Structure 1
């Protein structure tokens, strides 16, 4: 028996890995008000799952490619005669519907669709774990490399232009990072709950962080706590692990909101 033979240990490591990747991305999603953008990218991933199974390629590769295509398409078409919310609504639900229809045409493939929609963290293998942590490391490396330009472009595009920073290039970095997070998080929380894992920890951390870096760190802590605590609750209550993780994150957000309201000196 090796260190990673326990399925609970693999599940815990997978949850922490996804939380570390999603936390800083979630902060930028909150700052840029891109919640629906993240949701659309996640919904597109189910089409990537169907294509991966049809072409016999790794699920991660198919989900990553389709999520990237969705994110790039939205970035390209936005501001060209389409409002952002309309464009995201059309593409998100269309990609999800096409993915579900494509799955129904697959023959000779045993597919647990619920596992991809809501996650199956308890079935994470050692290979899945390696992919999750490699993806998380890549996302963190990208954000570490571009943190200052990304932050400047997020706060004020005009100042970014004056400083020689191209906001569209930084948007592309965010797009790639978001697609990677979506691809690695499918196994943990599924395509329907990825956006929640992105947004809720960041939103819970926001009232108590006085710097962007601290907010990202607190979001990572809240995300990891949600993953580990959600797994424990799912084991104790015999509930689905992915939704339970998101429920705990929502509870932490509610607690942080109440604490903010009760904080002395609040204006």
Structure 2
């Protein structure tokens, strides 16, 4: 067990666990153009954290529950008179505001709000590591189990109906997986940066992928590299670790954009 006494090893393992869960899920977020959906679900998680601390239940459980409720609420309200981006914008920022207000009432509980907003990967414990990897395995199991139906429903709901699939059920699977990703990523990058970990690796991998499976694998590679590069930069330059990880991912995306511009001159 001495290996797990090294906080850097624990931090790296936690980041890799989040990368394994977030990157494939991020591909579906990109394909379905659900960026705001991920944002709203992530922002709602801070309310879940506050409720979990108030009720003295595990933070992971509270975050999953509230993120899932938010995701289901968004799905049920879509198409009822408001555009999806307007609805998601209202719900995302409202959920974050209510969560921050709820945290302010927890006078008997010591809470490092910045750790939940921007992550605190260097403080990951063995218990946190077990939760992160347990959640990541659940997400991967869900995606592997429903991979082909999810792809079909993403490509064309009509095609899914013709094949005997229910697109709403596949949407529910994605909703559950997204809630799990949000819950496991809170400790690593925080609720404000979870959407970036979903989107940026998938967007970086997209130009190099000829198949959905290849894109998911490349996105995992980008996410893992971002975690390791961000950890290194954080230690070397004494910068916040969660934001440093996202910055590393963003720089990879920028490099890909520049590379494509050089290869395909106007």
Alignment TM-score, normalising by the size of structure 2: 0.98
Give the CA deviation at 1:154: 0.4
In 2, Cα distance between equivalents of 1:103 and 1:176? 25
Structure-to-structure mapping, 1:36-55, within 5 angstroms: 36-55=36-55
Which residue of 2 is the match for residue 169 of structure 1? 169
Residue 204 of structure 1 pairs with residue 204 of structure 2: yes
Which residue of 2 is the match for residue 225 of structure 1? 225
Give the CA deviation at 1:81: 2.1
In 2, Cα distance between equivalents of 1:248 and 1:132? 21
Which residue of 1 is the match for residue 23 of structure 2? 23
Count of residue correspondences: 266
Q: Deviations for 1:16-42, whole angstroms, at most 9, x for unmatched residues? A: 000000011000000000001000000
In 2, Cα distance between equivalents of 1:135 and 1:262? 40
Which residue of 1 is the match for residue 106 of structure 2? 106
Which residue of 1 is the match for residue 63 of structure 2? 63
In 2, Cα distance between equivalents of 1:242 and 1:104? 23
Give the CA deviation at 1:108: 1.6
Give the CA deviation at 1:2: 1.6
Moved more, 52-61 or 75-84: 75-84
Q: Which runs of 5+ in 1 are unaligned?
A: none
Would you identify which runs of 4 or more consecutive aligned residues in structure 1 move more than 3 Å? none
Which residue of 1 is the match for residue 246 of structure 2? 246
Q: Deviations for 1:51-77, whole angstroms, at most 9, x for unmatched residues? A: 011000111000000000000000011
Q: Deviations for 1:95-130, whole angstroms, at most 9, x for unmatched residues? A: 100110011111221111000000000000000000
In 1, Cα distance between equivalents of 2:70 and 2:83? 16
In 2, Cα distance between equivalents of 1:5 and 1:24? 30
State the SS of the aligned residue for 1:80.
coil
In 2, Cα distance between equivalents of 1:209 and 1:262? 19
Moved more, 79-88 or 212-221: 79-88
Root mean square deviation of aligned Cα: 1.1
Give the CA deviation at 1:261: 2.1
In 2, Cα distance between equivalents of 1:178 and 1:104? 27
Which residue of 2 is the match for residue 137 of structure 1? 137
